[in-house]
A and B are shown apart, each in its own frame.
Chain A
């Protein structure tokens, strides 16, 4: 049981590869860190893994099956910028409960307050929004979580509390975790192994 990537390559324009020949394997319950300079393709890789875009080369294999296009994706991505991940016309409770209704304990683990539920995304801070997007990604059928610069915009205390909440659940549910960050400190602390994406860059 693992999230496996074989010889992955991607380019936005023909023959101008962002990266090539990337191979990673994240076992169930495993934690891998990915780092690299800004613009080296970390977010792009994350989007391919979570099936937001299709690779130009190579394949993504989830628990022994080729990645499917339709239906629920067991690899869920937590985005760098949570503002864009919420429908601006929906109240937070609608965005949160769009695909499943999270339990109260899950909300408490991330310090989501009841009073935020009736608000619209523009009425919350980035950190508050990010908690919602994390809980939304923790669908019962989720098997792997990718955290793309999940806490870069937050202060140290909030960062710590959000990571604590996420790691507890990852451990409890035995989820695979990919941490994308340019802060080596976070990766060192959380991950079993890490990978520098710049090694695969062709720019």
Chain B
């Protein structure tokens, strides 16, 4: 990688981290006031008073968007973490558990990969019960398979390393080897996988809330905002769709940027060039 390319990667990384940081800071500092209905402020287009305009109930769109993104981030963190844990467990199990365990786990992974996410998530969210819990569980249990396969392949590659075989032959348990040798070695992959899960989880969260699964209409979430706003778009109120939609896309793109940048910086073939 040329120095310029490296700078570009780092710049996009820094920008993305700053943007996400800004949303997090805003989501904790903006008050709840903008979420209240205010009949004197109905359908204002964007102005200095309300940067993103207001909706048909007079709620401030900037506040709603930020609070919606906060919920997205929350679901993203919980969903991605759970997804990564499932992927880690199954990936390592497949790699160190022997041929038959490997076959069963991989068959399972293939089955999940072949399943359409949205349909499956709707089923899960029905099964778990509606509400935020349903959204979180649904996104967590649908996003692990690809990462599980990555983990399994990584562990397969390093478990034959001489230092690991030596560790085993000096009487160390499998659990010790997984914890001390394998997990630290695959940590970069896991972390990148975790960051790259975010965009999927967040977009799926938005689709689910858009379709009306999960949350009550009072709870701020991008999906709900967008589905409400589409009803008013024929009146020419473009702002309740455009701003939250854009914000969501930028947020997702930021996570994607971070993940890809880290992957490029971590790749031995591009790291030092």
Identify the A interface with B (CB < 8 A).
Answer: 50-52, 71-73, 76-77, 79, 84-87, 89, 95, 98-99, 136, 139
Shortest CB–CB separation between residue B189 and chain A, in angstroms? 14
Shortest Cβ gap from B150 to chain A (Å): 19
Contacts of A95 in B (CB 8 A): 163
Flag the segment in B91-99, B106-114, B169-177, B222-230 that touches A: B169-177
Q: Chain B: interface secondary structure? A: helix
* CB nearest neighbor in B for A100: B170
A83 shortest CB reach to chain B, Å = 9
Q: Are B169 and A98 in contact (CB under 8 A)?
A: no
Q: Which residues of A contact B263 (CB under 8 A)?
A: none
Verify A72–B171 contact, CB threshold 8 A: yes
Whether A99 and B163, one on each chain, are in contact in the complex, defined by CB atoms closer than 8 angstroms, is no
User: B residues touching A (Cβ–Cβ < 8 Å)?
Assistant: 161-167, 169-172, 181, 184-185
Say whether A52 contacts B163, CB under 8 Å: no
Is there contact, CB below 8 Å, between B170 and A139? yes
Question: What distance in Å separates the Cβ of B172 from its nearest Cβ neighbour in chain A?
Answer: 7
B161 is contacted by which of A71, A77, A84 (Cβ under 8 Å)?
A84
| Chain A residues whose C-beta falls within 8 Å of the C-beta of B163 in the assembled complex | 84-87, 95
A98/B165 contact (C-beta < 8 A), A87-B181, A89-B185 known: no
| B169: contacting residue among A50, A84, A87, A89, CB under 8 A | A50
Partner of B162, one of A51, A72, A85: A85
Q: B170 to A98, Cβ gap below 8 A?
A: yes
The minimal Cβ–Cβ distance linking A139 to chain B, given in whole angstroms, is 6
Tell me which residues across on chain B come within 8 A of A139, comparing CB atoms.
Answer: 170
3 closest A-B pairs (Cβ-Cβ)? A72-B171, A99-B170, A73-B169
Residue from A50, A51, A87, A136 whose CB has the most chain B CB atoms within 10 Å: A87
Contact B169 A51, beta carbon cutoff 8 Å:
yes
Q: Which residues of B contact A51 (CB under 8 A)?
A: 169
| Choice from B164, B167, B171 contacting A71 with Cβ under 8 Å | B171
Can you list 28 residue pairs at the A/B interface with Cβ under 8 Å? A51-B169, A52-B169, A73-B169, A73-B171, A76-B169, A77-B169, A79-B162, A84-B161, A84-B163, A85-B162, A85-B163, A85-B166, A86-B163, A87-B163, A87-B164, A87-B185, A89-B184, A89-B185, A95-B163, A98-B167, A98-B170, A98-B172, A99-B167, A99-B171, A99-B172, A136-B166, A136-B170, A139-B170
